[in-house]
Amino acid sequence: MEQRTRPVILLMVDSLMHHPLQEAIRQKRVPALHFLMEHGRYIPDVVSSFPTMSVTIDSTLLTGTYPDSHRVPGLLWYRQEERRLVNYGNGILEMLKTGIKEVLQDSLYRLNNEHLSQEVKTIHEELALHNMPSASINGLVYRGSFLQQFNIPKIALWLKLLPRELRTHGPLLFSFGALARLDAENRHRYLWKKGGFNDKFVARELAYLIRRQKLPFFTIAYLPDNDHSVHKKGPMEIQGLEKVDRQLQEVLGAYSTWEKALDEAIWIVMGDSGQAPVGASRRQALIYLLPMLDKYKITKLGKRAQETDQLFLCVNERMTYVYALQDNIQLSELAALFQEEERIDVIAWREEDRIQVRGGGKESTLAFQPNGPHKDRYGQAWMLDGDVSLLDIRKTGEEIEYGDYPDVLARLYGALYSHAGRYLVLTARPECEFVGESSPNHRGGAAHGALHKEDSLVPMIICGTDSAPKHPRLVDMKEWILRLHGER
């Protein structure tokens, strides 16, 4: 088969990172990943979206925009028009307090059909305009042009968690755990197997498409299991990568040889976000937000904000949104309070048409906005006023270079213009993580969410084409994949 007719297979491996991948290869524990690296191009430092949380990242990849356009601000965020928390599935205690029914409705339906902006198109929707089919296997963000029917489990009906009939807009070929299968015989779908949201289910679905020669032009498959290993054991954990590799071997094995797999498809294997270590000491690693804000009335989890409430917190592991619910609460005063905590890294908020930046334990200030004299490596222009070291930016004439916070200006701008409300963005320094009312924590392991390069840089392997995204950023992936279609 000629290269221009090859289908594109994108495997998104949750929390795949450069250094543990290199170590796993050195120890000869990931033969399939090593094979792809030897036969393709390797980019170690692709910039993720921000917050570095799954739904925001997936939205950026599929739409080619940051949250100021796609409107999915994080795994947890405050929906001002409904005065409530949106939780797409984070922490069992948080989900119980939010309400399992609400979480399921948000994650299964509202995320793709209501929250993801209608002003942007996904890769699936763009391809459908050209009569090109596509597939999504266990992607949390999957919006496409075809009505798909969920198969609601009996227990969800019995508990009245979901309606008997639930349709969603997805691509032509749509797989979503036990709720929507391509392979009717896929046995990795049961409740005790996370309802199909596991790597074995994904590998079986993808192998099914390959063996039956049903691969569309573009398939995205999301492999979640490595994330759990890294959260628990830390960034250099490689046992999760071994398990990922075994499933990748099964997928490649759907062809007569691994070399045949490379002849017949373009393969992209990449991470979604990195993870920064979280220290083992509870006192040093965990930033408890409620004691810092004890003079304010904060909305309780599971409750809608009341007129007398002053603040609303949405903790996304190493990133937090702090919402001011009353006009008399100044964001600058809140920021000053957080500046007293040295474990807080970046503090930022929107003020008129500028973004204000502060740092924990620091007194200097920075303000920025788009369309100024300073240009970054991505061709983006910025106005900068103040201490650029707060964001580890280096200026050389009118050129700026990013250090510890990749593409930080565009990513921070994207989060601060992503949804309605008056709010601060907080990020934690590496080794630290935020804790709210009932937040899960990863003490002694690792977490993500922040702007730091440890959260933000992921590797990518490309096999079967000499082309690559214009820039090594997730936000540039959509344009590249559509360009691959144009090169057919």
Nearest to 65 by CA among 133, 143, 109, 119: 119
- Global model pTM greater than 0.75: yes
Q: Specify the residue for token string 């040889």.
A: 257
Show the beta-strand stretches assigned E in 111-228: 134-137, 146-149, 167-170, 173-175, 218-223
Sequence ranges of the domains in the chain: 3-72+116-275+451-486, 282-442
User: pLDDT 10s digit of each residue in the chain, 488 long?
Assistant: 333 469 999 999 999 999 999 999 999 999 999 999 999 999 999 999 999 999 999 999 999 999 999 999 999 999 999 999 999 998 888 988 888 999 999 999 999 999 999 999 999 999 999 999 999 999 999 999 999 999 988 888 888 888 888 999 999 999 999 899 999 888 876 664 667 799 999 999 999 999 999 999 999 999 999 999 999 999 999 999 999 999 999 999 999 999 999 999 999 999 999 999 999 999 999 999 999 999 999 999 999 999 999 999 999 999 999 999 999 999 999 999 999 999 999 999 999 999 999 999 999 999 999 999 999 999 999 999 999 999 999 999 999 999 999 999 999 999 999 999 999 999 999 999 999 999 999 999 999 999 999 999 999 999 999 999 999 999 999 999 999 987 65
Q: Tokens standing for 11?
A: 């495997």
Helix or strand or coil: residue 480?
A: helix
CATH topology of domain 3-72+116-275+451-486: Alkaline Phosphatase, subunit A (3.40.720)
pLDDT for res 191? 61
In order, the DSSP letters of 331-357 are HHHHHHHHTT-TTEEEEEEEETTEEEE
Q: How far is 99 from 225, CA to CA, in rounded Å?
A: 25
pLDDT for res 111? 98
403 and 346 Cβ atoms separated by less than 8 Å:
no
Q: How far is 225 from 243, CA to CA, in rounded Å?
A: 8
Residues for the chain: how many in total? Answer: 488
Q: How far is 10 from 462, CA to CA, in rounded Å?
A: 9
Q: Tokens standing for 207?
A: 């192998």
Q: How many Cβ atoms from other residues are within 10 Å of residue 120's Cβ?
A: 17
Q: How far is 461 from 9, CA to CA, in rounded Å?
A: 12
